[in-house]
Every structure is written in C-alpha cells, then in structure tokens.
Amino acid sequence: MDRVITIDLHTEPEILTQYLEKMGWTNVGELVTAVSKAGEGNMNVVLRVQTNTRSLILKQSRPYVQKYPQIPAPADRIHTEMAFYRAVQESGIDAHLPKILGFEPAAYLMLLEDLGQAEDMTALYQKRNIAAGQLKTLLSVLMQIHKTSVPENFPQNLELRQLNHQHIFVLPFLEDNGFDLDSIQPGLQELATPIKEDDALKQIISQLGEIYLAAGTVLLHGDYYPGSWLQADDNIYVIDPEFCFAGFAEFDLGVMAAHLIMATQDPTLLDQILEGYTLPKDSNLARQVAGTEILRRIIGLAQLPLERSLEEKASLLELAQKFIHHDN
C-alpha cells in the first residue's frame, strides 16, 4: 500500500488498519473498529480512530482550509506544526502537549495520542470567566514556548501567515469586503462602519500587519486562543500550532488577552496577563494586537461562538479601539 493516503470520515476501517500497520504505527493484531470526527477543526481533517485496544487521533492538512474549502492554504502547514513540536520537546511542557505517535510528511499526516474526554476551551465564551489556575497555566506554557530557542532553518511559514494576515489585518477593515455582518447579527454592520472609516486606526493596524509578516526571534504558537486549548480533568493541553513562526511575543500575548476579554467582558485581564508574563515585552504593542484581534473577531469572517448582545459587542469594539489608539 502506498505511503500516501487521503483520509476522511468515510475511510473504511479496513483501509486504515492496513495503512497504520504498514506505517508501523499500530501493534500486531490491532484493528481499526470505528472512525469519527474529532472536534470542530477549522484548518484540517481531524479524525478519532478507535481500535480494538485504544483510541488515536489522525490529522491531515489539505491545500485549502477544511472549514472553508474555497480558501486556499498551504498543505505543508502540518510540516511546520511538526517542526514546532520538535522544537519545544526540551522546553519542559510535555505534560501540556499531545504525544506525537507518527508522522508521514508525504501524506501530510500526523498520528497523535487521543487526549480522551478533553474539550476545547471555547466554552469560556459561554462561561464568561476563567479560573485563576487556568490563566496561570496558560501563561506558564506560553512563556516556556517563547523561551524556546528557534532552531536554525525553522520554517518561516510565510504562506500561511500571509493568509492569516489578510483575515486579521486587512479584510475586516475594508469598507466593501463582502461580509454581510447583519446576517450574523442585525445592527452589526452599523457598528462596523465607523471602524472601517477610521483611517488613523487602519494605519496602525496596517503597521501591525507589517510587523506580523516580518521575521522575528521568538518562537510563537501563532494561534493562542481557546480553540487551541484543551481541558482534560485537571490538565490543560495546547494543540494546533500550525500557525507557528519566529516572530514577536506580543502577538501571542495580544491574541490570548483579546479572547479572554471577549469571553469575560473584563478589560483588566489584559493587565493581569501582561503582569503575569515576566519575559521582555512591549505592553503597548501587545495592547494594540489585542485590540486588533477583538475587532477582527467581531467584524471579520472568523466569527467565534460569542453570544453577546449588540450593546456588549459595541462595548468590546470601543475598548478595542482604545487599545489600538492607546487611549486610557
């Protein structure tokens, strides 16, 4: 059997049994008994593969975004993800990462341990609070990632960053971008209009985008938000680092703060995060990234499971603009 395979929910268990055995990823007599979807992945195909002895996770990248097939994306992003896992293996955060059980570059395929009943932490958007212990753990893991030496020839991940750049720093702020915000929530388009007409604001956001695309020195996760955090029993796992790159620490910090502020409506979380993050940083830069991330998540395409009133969203948008303009 070829080492290249395309997986989906309809892949026959017998086919997967043969493939996994040929790759040396399963034990003698281990048979695939069921295949199901594992979570709500946006970028990749992620399947839970049940065998007669255990449960595994198979992850495969495609030349497009899985949730939005009309959006092209580099298929080799899973190679970058693997480079991240290899880079941080000596960082002391193994307990917060899934174990990689197999990797086939030609098939853009990764085999990981199944973390069991772990749920991603997007429930924070509904709970509207985060425990102090959870925040401490997430900051600790982030600092360990950022302290990791960037290996020589680490992937620049520029193609995926260029895609992300469009959706963070450009498209949400175009006056005619084709996003029907009122179909998401009536009145949202009206809230977005003054932001799209604020040239000074957009100039700052454009400059942030240039920093994002530039080479940096700090190893970043690149998508450090509740969808990349899993809660299992008393542990937190960090997953999906395919957006990783060597950049500026304030990007991860700002994204993290933005999502926790959107979840809790508590702007003081930004200061708590900046105080808890004891590595070198530019607090104003992190604040501007946080503001940009709040804006793009509310008026851009990449919407969150954020059930908020129009008034609450207006408050978040106002706060975000203050972060960007450095208003008190």
pLDDT tens, residue by residue, 134-150:
999 999 999 999 999 99
Name the band, by pLDDT with cuts 50, 70 and 90, for residue 40.
low
Final residue of a domain: which of 88, 113, 138?
A: 113
Predicted confidence (pLDDT) at residue 1 exceeds the cutoff of 70 = no
Give the end of a domain, one of 85, 113, 141.
Answer: 113
CATH number, position 242: 3.90.1200.10
Tell me the three-class secondary structure of the chain, residue by residue.
Answer: CCCCCCCCCCCCHHHHHHHHHHCCCCCCCCCEEEEEECCCCCCCEEEEEEECCCEEEEEECCCECCCCCCCECCCCHHHHHHHHHHHHHHCCCHHHCCCEEEEEHHHCEEEEECCCCCEEHHHHHHHCCCCHHHHHHHHHHHHHHHHCCCCCCCCCCHHHHHHHHHHHHHHHHCCCCCCCHHHHCCCHHHHHHHHHCCHHHHHHHHHHHHHHHCCCCEEECCCCCHHHEEEECCEEEECCCCCCEEECHHHHHHHHHHHHHHHHCCCHHHHHHHHHCCCCCCHHHHHHHHHHHHHHHHHCCCCCCCCCCHHHHHHHHHHHHHHHHCCC
Kindly state whether residues 61 and 145 are assigned to the same domain.
no
According to the model, what pLDDT value does residue 91 have?
84
Per-residue model confidence as pLDDT tens digits over 10-22: 788 999 999 999 9
CATH number at residue 33: 3.30.200.20
Whether residue 320 sits in one domain with residue 241: yes
Average pLDDT over residues 32-50: 86
Q: What is the pLDDT of residues 232-247, one digit of tens each?
A: 878 999 999 999 999 9
Q: Whole-prediction pTM value?
A: 0.93
Domain that holds residue 79: 13-113
Closest CA to 221 of 260, 247, 184: 247
pLDDT number for residue 2: 63
**pLDDT, position 38:** 83
Confidence (pLDDT) at 74? 87
Residues 6+ apart with CB under 8 A from 275: none
Mean pLDDT of 267-273: 96
Confidence of residue 119 (pLDDT cuts 50, 70, 90): confident
Average pLDDT of the chain, as a whole number: 93
Whether the pLDDT of residue 76 is over 60: the answer is: yes
